[in-house]
Structure 1
Amino acid sequence: MFSSLKGWQIGVLVGIVLVVAGGTYGAIAFIGGPDNANLGADEQLIPVQLGNLINEVSVNGSILFPNRETLVFGSPGSVAEILVEEGMRVRAGEPLATFDSETNADLDKAVAQARVSLRDAQYTLENFQKASDLEIAQAESKVSNAKLALNDASND
């Protein structure tokens, strides 16, 4: 069939096929619009390239431990034994550590001295209260004597 065509006819036929193909491609591109037009708001076309795909998430912030407490002891000393381990649950009032024997002796001595000081202060307070009662009684006696003297003087 193509063997009976002359060279110029084949050239014209190839040209017509190219024009029709180009027109078809142009019409499809014009009607279809840009490639991104049919994508959703959270979709994106990315050309394929040879390489490694790496997903990274970057965050900023700090980690807080809500159950962490700082231990503060009212007295200096050395710890002999720690009774709990990290991560253990403890109850209020449960001992967490014990002092060594020297620290315990120092603390017992301090408690004894505090008790002696308390007794001395209570004794001093009682003495002041008794003295006040005595002074009040003496003053009342003086007032009574003065009233008697006044009565005696006014009756005379």
Structure 2
Amino acid sequence: MPDLRWDEVKDVFDPKLMGALPDLFVPDTTVDDWQALLNLVTTSGWTWKYESGDTEEPLPSADIVLARPSDAEAAYLRVWPVPGVLAIFRFTSVHEIDFDVDLRELEGQDGVDSLCSFIRVIGRGLGKPVLMTNEGGSEEHPVLGYDPVKDKVTMLADDSAVDP
């Protein structure tokens, strides 16, 4: 049974309401959590690519990538959990894992199921919540997220909380 049903969450998957690239994050993380994420990505069977600036490079350890100087080129980890769906992780803070997905790639029940599966795997692997806000939204008001206690993705706000 799916965690969420398209007809109940279609507004949260609407790029016009949420922004095309909603913000997803794992709060209260450490270097060890980042390393667990990197290990998960490399062992999951997902397609991935690490880039520093415009250069594709081998994936470094979390402590190395997070210790880059503040003026270093931006580092990105692009992950395709399923063909046609891209998540982009940014190494901006030790204390939070943040990434984007493109809602235009997540349409209908298949899109909902793909996102729920992806964030459930991350949440289980880290033993932490994975939350989603609208693009540029407040982290204090996530609209959906993985709950590690319930081991499922749930809605966290009603449609009135979606404020583009």
Higher strand residue share = 2
Q: What TM-score does the superposition give when structure 1 sets the normalisation length?
A: 0.19
Q: Which has the higher contact order (CA 8 A, sep 6+)?
A: 2
- TM-score if structure 2 supplies the norm length? 0.18
